[in-house]
Structure 1
Amino acid sequence: MEKVSVIGAGSWGTAIAFVLAENGHDCLLWTRRSEQSAEINEKHSNASYLPGIALPENLKASSDLKEAVQHADSIVIAVPTKAIRALSSEINQLADQSKLIIHVSKGIEPDTLKRISEVIEEEVSPGKRKAIVALSGPSHAEEVVLRHPTTITAASFDKEAAEHVQDLFMNDQYFRVYTNDDLIGVELGAALKNVIALAAGITDGIGYGDNAKAALITRGLAEITRLGVKMGANPLTFSGLTGLGDLIVTCTSVHSRNWKAGNLLGQGKSLDEIVSGMGMVIEGVRTTKAAYQLSKRYDVSMPLTEALYSVLFDNIPPKEAVDQLMSRMKKQEIEDIYFK
Structure 2
Amino acid sequence: MNILTVTPNPSLDRTYEVPGLRRGAVLRATGERVDPGGKGVNVSRAVAAAGHRTLAVLPLGGAPGALVAELLAAEGIEVAVVPVAGRTRSNIAVVEPDGSLTKINAPGPELGPREGELLLATVREHSARADWIACCGSLPPGLGPPWYADLVARARAAGARVALDTSGPCLVAALRERPDVVKPNAEELARAVGRPLATIGDAVQAAQDIRESGAGAVLASLGVDGQLLVTASGTYFACAAVDAVRSTVGAGDASLAGFLTAGGEGPRALAAAVAHGAAAVRLPGSVMPAPADLVPASVTVTEAVPVDRPLRAPAS
TM-score range, shorter chain: 0.3 to 0.5
Task: Give TM-score, length-normalised by structure 1.
Answer: 0.35
Higher Rg of the two aligned structures: 1
Higher helix share: 1
Q: Which has the higher strand share?
A: 2
Larger RCO (CA within 8 A; separation ≥ 6):
2
